Amino acid sequence: MLPNKETSPSRHLSRAIGLLAAGFQAGALAQQGPDLNALPLEQLLNLEVVTASKIPQKISEAPSSVTVITAEDIRQRGYRTLTEVLQSVPGMTVSYDRNYNYANIRGLGNPGDLNTRLLVLIDGRRLNDVVYDQGAIGTEFPIDLALIDRVEFVPGPGSAIYGSSAFFGVVNVLTKSGGTLNGQTVSVDRFTGRGREVRNTYGSGTPGGTELLLGASVYDSPGRDVYFPEYDDAASNHGVATGIDYDRYRRLFAKLSAGGVVAEAYFGSRTKGIPTASYGQQFNDPRSWSLDEYAGAALSWHRAVSETLDLFAGVSVARYRYKTLNVTGSASEGPTPSIDTAESLSSGAEVRVTSSALRGHKLIAGAEYTRDSKRQMANYDVDPYLLNLDVAHPKRQAAVYLQDEMRLGEKLILNTGVRHDYDSEGGATTNPRVALLYKTASLVTLKALYGTAFRSANAYERYYTFDFRANPALRSEHIKTYELIAEYFPTDRFRATASVFQYRMRDMLALATDPVNGMLVFSNIEAARATGVEVEAEWLREDGSALKGSANVQSARNDAGGAWLPNSPRRLFKLNVALPPLGDHLRAHAEYRYTSRRRTVRGGEVGGFGLVDLNLVGTLGSHVELSAGVLNVFAKRHADSASEEHYDNSTPPRHLDAIGQDGRTLRFMATVRF
Amino acid sequence: MMRPSLARLLLLCCLLPAVAHAQAADEYAAKAAFIYNIAQFSTLPNMNGVVRLCVLGRDPFGSALATLEGKPLGNARLSIVYPHSGPEALMQCHILYISASESDDMTALADSARAAGVLTIADTRGAARKGVMLELVLDDRRIAFEFNGAAARGAGVVLSSKVLRLARAIY
């Protein structure tokens, strides 16, 4: 069985800190230069300066607690997936079932829920599809990380701005502009387990002028052999899934911008082998896989009409295709393949007006219309062909919203917002948001936040009938959140925040058994709440080093009976350390993440664990960059909770309780710039 | 296969500090030196023995400004002050650096500083057009500046022509 013993985070931590101390010492010595104050003006103006890193100003006035991960963070830390980016966010853990990644935010988020309560945006536009509401954060996320300018994460409800699914939080991935990338780069990457990736980017133009950005990448990882103790017997290859953990993707991106007009398009197609035998499959059958394919295009126009008036308009289209081959049926009769598919196609238009013409107010008003013309699910047996399910339920959505940032004197800002959503299937809903910000004299800002959000039941929950009964009458889920934040932000290089939050959810969708026919059916039955404290501090030191840490203590419980929610850690601790530049050409970064023990969906437990990742980035001349990383340096054994669908085709089915995660992993990336 | 390469990587980590060496100037160390230089070439109203250089809002300079404390400025000495509000700053300061955190109030601050005879400096984009006397900008990794002559005249602040001819733009 998996180790359930709680590990003290301090042991790993002290090892990591010891390793880093030497580096800091060296950095301090490197900080010597001429006395700038003695230089004449002409020389001073000719001096090349290094732009200091700053914590973005506006974070402080945001009506929420925002986390920003920049392109430079991604480069220094060697991140390769959106999951890795999100794992560094305070309060966030991401579990993995060797097919999809599932976010847990401040204690909330089930394994297996496909991130339906996390809204993922690409340049402000929705990526979550309209069949499953799936928020892609793993290798199926269609944008290469080298093309990302920054990732912004806002915990808490975002429905007052973004509508459905902005439930536990919003991830906005903002892509670079062609001018910042200027030139062509080719990267060749290698990963433990013979994983390979080739990436190509091209950027041209000057910032603000005509800019072009192109990107293409191909990834192929054969994966590891994965052991599942629950399946360990002689008939099931002793619980080892061989050669089925493979992961492959192709990605394309293009963005052209000129004078406020931006056209962009993306495509990403990922195929993943399924080693867990999920949904009653034959274990260790090499045929089982899933395909996730995202494609989207958008055209937008933005113009600052005057100093106080800003206009934005855009149209977009997004497509998602899902296909999976499952090998089901009892082993004695010979298991047979069946195919499950989903198609989602949405097109929409939006307008937004920002005005600061009214003194002391900043108003944002907007409207959106979306037509989900394709919203289809099907399931069929391959041989002999038998159609088990084929349903299509297109729908329409429209929304209007208004926000106001009102300055009440020098010290007080009242930020209010409200959005009204109409959904041809789920009906109408209105979600408000209120934030009161008070700037004290001592550079401390106090914030009080209240907001609500909703998630409209998706097509899968309403209409999927292969294994269970449809329930088209499902209502939307609702959440209310309260949060108090104190922020100390004295200089551009230091910031500390403490936050107390409570999230209250009702009408949550969960599977129940129909009393009449005994079939499983989704129903609005659950209510739960999460309460916790989050503290965070960030310090950008003058020698170029940086420290960022966060800690959470939280509790998420079901309202009925008070049961501890599955997959919900009660304590989290994160530390990111960027060492001072080691000469002009080398940067080192270390990351520590501690997750306390968690309940599994089946009522067991997975133990707490602390992981250390290291990354080193160096440049050779002006054309070559090398990046080397070690993930899980101390090869700490750890596991995530499995979910309801992780059972095989045995009679009775064998359920997985936990899914083992990767040990030590190495990666090397070489990039050539032309 | 994995262990030797990990060991090599860690070894590399430990050896690297040995090759570390000095780097280009820090942006705010250079900006602090620039402000000191400008102060030497300016005639400011209301000076008597001490010139107070103030930072209003979030301080981006780190330790760079501390090196200017007590520095000679003609017959006077420079003193660094951190006022808590705009009105407090206008009562005390001769030179006022307005931080980016105060950018929403930039125009109002610039106007009242002009009336109070205070030299204003900022490095937020468009500050000079909003009435701030000196705007520091980064141009191709070098410091440049724009000057608002009308605002300086209004305040009775005189900058040497030696400085003005280096300005990127004058309003």
Residues 6+ away with beta carbon under 8 Å from A516: none
Structural domains in chain A, CATH included, are 62-673 (2.40.170.20)
Secondary structure (3-state) at A207: coil
Q: Contacts of residue B162 in chain A, CB cutoff 8 Å?
A: 41
- C-alpha–C-alpha distance, residues A315 and A295, integer Å: 15
Backbone angles phi, psi at A391, to 5 degrees: -130, 145
Put simply, whether A41 touches B (Cβ < 8 Å) is: yes
Burial of A470 (0-12, 13-18, 19+ CB in 10 A): middle
CB pairs under 8 A between A and B: 152
* CATH 3.30.70.270, applies to B24-170: no
Q: pLDDT tens digit string along B80-91?
A: 999 988 888 998
Which pLDDT score, from 0 to 100, does residue A19 have? 47
Q: Where are the domains of chain B?
A: 24-170
* Residue carrying the six token digits 């001349």: A621
Percentage of chain A lying above the pLDDT 90 cut: 71
Which pLDDT score, from 0 to 100, does residue A426 have? 85
* Residue carrying the six token digits 């198609």: A343
> Residue A131 carries which DSSP code?
S
- C-alpha–C-alpha distance, residues A405 and B104, integer Å: 12
Kindly report the nearest CA distance between residue B73 and chain A, in angstroms. 12
Which pLDDT score, from 0 to 100, does residue B100 have? 87
Put simply, whether A196 touches B (Cβ < 8 Å) is: no
User: CA distances (Å), B122 to each of A185, A374, A492, B65, B128, in order?
Assistant: 37, 53, 15, 15, 8
Put simply, whether A192 touches B (Cβ < 8 Å) is: yes
Kindly report the nearest CA distance between residue B103 and chain A, in angstroms. 10
Contact B23 A581 (CB under 8 A): yes
Which pLDDT score, from 0 to 100, does residue A607 have? 96
Contact A44 B30 (CB under 8 A): yes
Q: What is the ipTM of this complex?
A: 0.79
User: CA distances (Å), B4 to each of A664, A670, B10, B14, in order?
Assistant: 13, 20, 10, 16
Under the banding of pLDDT at 50, 70 and 90, the label for residue B18 is very low
Put simply, whether B137 touches A (Cβ < 8 Å) is: no
Contact B6 A630 (CB under 8 A): yes
Q: pLDDT tens digit string along B92-128?
A: 899 999 998 888 788 889 999 999 999 999 998 889 9
Contact A37 B36 (CB under 8 A): yes
- Closest CB to B163 among A41, A50, A493: A41
Residues pairing with A371 in the sheet: A347, A396
- Closest CB to A490 among B32, B33, B58: B58
- C-alpha–C-alpha distance, residues A452 and A248, integer Å: 38
Contact B60 A44 (CB under 8 A): no
- C-alpha–C-alpha distance, residues A157 and A481, integer Å: 7
Tokens of A383: 């041989």
Element (H, E) at B163: helix B161-164
> Chain B residue closest to A618 (CA)?
B16
Q: Which of residues 538-567 of A touch B (CB under 8 A)?
A: 542, 544
Contact A614 B9 (CB under 8 A): yes
Kindly report the nearest CA distance between residue B24 and chain A, in angstroms. 6
- C-alpha–C-alpha distance, residues A379 and A402, integer Å: 42
Secondary structure (3-state) at A608: coil
Contact A582 B20 (CB under 8 A): yes
Distance of CA A122 to the CA centre of its chain: 11
Put simply, whether B143 touches A (Cβ < 8 Å) is: yes
Contact A36 B29 (CB under 8 A): yes
* CA terminus-to-terminus distance, chain A: 52
User: CA distances (Å), A100 to each of A54, A94, A107, A141, A503, in order?
Assistant: 35, 10, 19, 10, 25
Which pLDDT score, from 0 to 100, does residue A564 have? 93
Lowest mean pLDDT among A212-221, A512-521, A648-657: A512-521
Contact B20 A30 (CB under 8 A): yes
Q: pLDDT tens digit string along A124-164?
A: 999 999 999 999 999 999 999 999 999 999 998 999 999 99
User: CA distances (Å), B78 to each of A337, A482, B54, in order?
Assistant: 81, 48, 10
Under the banding of pLDDT at 50, 70 and 90, the label for residue A1 is very low
- C-alpha–C-alpha distance, residues A87 and A584, integer Å: 29
Q: pLDDT tens digit string along A371-421?
A: 999 999 999 999 889 999 999 999 999 999 999 999 888 789 999 999 999
Residues 6+ away with beta carbon under 8 Å from A488: A443, A444, A495, A496, A497
Burial of A578 (0-12, 13-18, 19+ CB in 10 A): buried
Q: Which of residues 609-668 of A touch B (CB under 8 A)?
A: 614, 616, 628, 630, 633, 664, 666
Kindly report the nearest CA distance between residue B90 and chain A, in angstroms. 16
